[in-house]
Amino acid sequence: MSRTQSPRVILTGGATGIGAATAVRLMAGGADVTILDVAEPAHGAGRFVHCDLAVPGAIDTALERLGGQWDALVNVAGIPGPRPAEPVIAVNFLGLRHLTDRVLPRLSAGGSITSVASTAGQSWQRRAAVIDQLLDTADFAGGLAWCRDNGGLWEKDPYTFSKQCVVAWTYRAAGAARAFGVRVNSVSPGGTETRLTENFTAQIGAEQVAWMDSQIGRSAEPDDIAKVIAFVAVGDCGWLNGVDIVVDGGMTAGRLGGWIDFNQSPAALVRAAARRG
């Protein structure tokens, strides 16, 4: 994209949390931001267009209002699980894919698509055979039909499955976007203090969350993630393409490098005690 003009950015989920922090940061850097969300942002940064990502018709209507040419799409909107499962997959993946497919032809050469996944999505290769079935569907309706027909394969933890799909889809989308001269990447945050925190704490337990934070010093603030998203979306990184960037304060490094002993986490100790008992 041109460095002499303010980049025009579509941002989903910009009303709260990581999305809001990203909108504010992009605007501070001179970007022209339009926010798609179900709630109007209180921070006042950027133009707002109402859009429910769980409804493909609503996405199409919002895009009719936008029109024009754009330089970047930033997919941040997401909802937690575990229930109800269908809206989670609809917003976090199917709506994201539907929106991206329609915005791609409107992106300028040299533009970018950046999607927020999660460290929960890092394990996507373990389920690649299942994930590929969903990714092979042609559109939102086809994807939703697959989800309804195969609930036993993903409904137990729809959030993790949705984020695994985002990561795996990023690699595919990077290839499809080459014809448009557009880069596609994803950013996978670790534990971050947002409105979703309460849901995640309820799922994995407060003791486990506290232990994880203690291993890396603290959980992330939304702007810790927004800094990375903004750079990937509109920064001077034109050779960065087709990657998932983990932003978790070193938690993944601790696991892979062996300097965090996950066998001593509260959750692991509970599982070990259950096996013994």
Domain assignment present for 2: no
Domain assignment present for 26: yes
Domain assignment present for 1: no
Number of domains into which the chain is organized:
1
Domain assignment present for 202: yes
SS3 state at 263: helix
Would you say the pTM of this structure is higher than 0.85? yes
Over the chain, what is the mean pLDDT?
94
Q: What is the phi/psi pair of residue 188, to 5°?
A: -115, 100
Q: What is the mean pLDDT of each run of 10 residues along the chain (277 residues)?
A: 75 96 96 97 90 98 95 96 92 98 98 97 96 98 98 96 98 98 97 75 83 92 97 97 97 95 92 88
Q: Please choose, from the candidates 173, 190, 192, 194, the residue with its C-alpha nearest in 3D space to the C-alpha of residue 182.
A: 173
Domain assignment present for 3: no
- pLDDT value at position 165? 98
CATH code, domain carrying 250: 3.40.50.720
Domain that includes residue 251, residue range: 8-276
pLDDT by residue (tens digit) across 80-94? 978 899 999 999 999
Q: Are 20 and 222 in contact (CB under 8 A)?
A: yes
pLDDT by residue (tens digit) across 239-267? 999 999 999 999 999 999 999 999 999 99
